[in-house]
Amino acid sequence: MNARKPVAWMSTKFPLEIPAALGMEVICPESAAAAAAGKGESGRLCRRAEGLGYCADLCSYVRMGMALAWDGGLPKPDVLLCCDNICSGMVQWYEAMARTLQVPLVLLNFPYRQSQVSQGQVNYLLGQLKAAIRQLEELTGQQWDPQKFQEACLWEERSARAWQRVLDCAMARPSPLRSMEIFDYMPLMVTGRCRPEMEERLLELARELAARRPEGEEYRIYWEGTPCWPVLGQVVELLDKRHIRVVADPISHSLGFCCQDLESLARAYCETINGVSLEEGVAMRAKLCWRYGVDGVLVHYNRSCRPWCGDLQEVERRLRDELELPVVSFDGDQGDPGAFSPAQFETRLDTLTELMAARREAR
């Protein structure tokens, strides 16, 4: 008897509760691309995708994901699960992977919104969610069990609370979390947050972090955007050299979902970071800057991610004006090492350090 669980490749903000309730194994190609970039493989994977005809202007996660799909770098999926609540380019990416891998694609369309989520939008999503569940029932041979779905939601809520405890370790001064260290733990939440064991694992991590006695933090910053994975070590070294510590970022804070039924699930997944209005996006960032007591903001203009960077200049301006914080930006990429200039990064960091020092003195 074949005991292998059905495998799904899933976009980061697809409702994980659904494949979890159906007992599926879930892999996130964006996390896999980030991990490959962290191991220094992104340049090779991007060039491989370009050789296959995927243009260099595409997001580097898309290029790396296509290379992994072609070359078999991940366990082969039985189905792809995608939704466009953070990025519409994701749809074309998953369609291309579905054609390459010759597996079905389950797609959820989230309408863009400027204000509160309307009941009409929720109904539209409920129809799609029910159709997706039927499609996955057929594919897995499993019947949808509302009890299992409730359990997945419950474990997810507990994981979200425990994850917040981990994130809040950075409120201590100095923060026990090294700059960018939080991103090492992010995959636990991306694909593992509906598992029963995750709550205790995260609480144990929070206890370990709280027991640390760190030294050397002078400035606390909010990092806006995705890390530059291929040069992460270099970035951390340059931050440490200036006694700057990253204590908050938008991505690690976007992973805790809480829902009790399909309707609250539909609402929760409308609230993803690129899916909210400019006002909500600024308010969310301002809240993080206040909560973690930052001295400044460093903005990463990630060449890959146009949906993220489109309104960043206005976000920058508002954070600078409304919070009266120094805000400095630099250019880079989450996956393509060629888009990062160490010289520019150092110059911008020096500017940020000077501005933070001047602000502190003025106070």
Q: Is the dihedral of CA 17, 22, 28, 29 positive or negative?
A: negative
Q: Which stretch binds ligand SF4 (CB under 6 A): 56-64, 116-124, 228-236, 344-352?
A: 56-64
Under rule CB under 6 A, residue 59 binds ligand SF4: yes
Q: Return the residue of 90, 239, 288, 312 that touches ligand SF4, per CB under 6 A.
A: 90
Q: Return the residue of 24, 270, 305, 327 that touches ligand SF4, per CB under 6 A.
A: 305
Longest dimension (CA), the chain: 72
Alpha carbons 34 and 361: distance in angstroms, whole number = 39
Q: Tell me the closest approach of the beta carbon of residue 98 to ligand SF4, in angstroms.
A: 15
Q: Looking up tokens 């899916």, which residue turns up? A: 275
Under rule CB under 6 A, residue 311 binds ligand SF4: no
Under rule CB under 6 A, residue 312 binds ligand SF4: no
DSSP 3-state of 302: strand
Contacts for 342 with CB less than 8 Å, ≥ 6 apart: 231, 234, 238
Whether a cis peptide bond, with omega within 30° of 0, leads into 174 is: yes
Find out whether 253 and 359 touch, Cβ atoms under 8 Å: no
Q: Which stretch binds ligand SF4 (CB under 6 A): 40-48, 206-214, 300-308, 310-318?
A: 300-308
Per DSSP, the residues of 323-357 read H---EEEEEE-SS-GGG--HHHHHHHHHHHHHHHH
Quote the tokens at residue 19. 């494949």
Q: Return the residue of 25, 31, 74, 89 that touches ligand SF4, per CB under 6 A.
A: 89
Q: Tell me the closest approach of the beta carbon of residue 206 to ligand SF4, in angstroms.
A: 28
Under rule CB under 6 A, residue 282 binds ligand SF4: no
Under rule CB under 6 A, residue 61 binds ligand SF4: yes
Q: Tell me the closest approach of the beta carbon of residue 50 to ligand SF4, in angstroms.
A: 16
Instruction: Considering the complex, state which of residue 334 and residue 353 has its C-beta at the smaller distance from ligand SF4.
Output: 334
Under rule CB under 6 A, residue 186 binds ligand SF4: no
Q: Return the residue of 104, 111, 214, 307 that touches ligand SF4, per CB under 6 A.
A: 307
Alpha carbons 96 and 90: distance in angstroms, whole number = 10
Under rule CB under 6 A, residue 87 binds ligand SF4: yes
Under rule CB under 6 A, residue 353 binds ligand SF4: no
CB atoms within 10 A of CB 73: 16
Q: Tell me the closest approach of the beta carbon of residue 273 to ligand SF4, in angstroms.
A: 9
Find out whether 56 and 47 touch, Cβ atoms under 8 Å: no
Alpha carbons 29 and 34: distance in angstroms, whole number = 8
Give the binding site for ligand SF4 (CB under 6 A): 59, 61-62, 86-87, 89-90, 304-305, 307-308
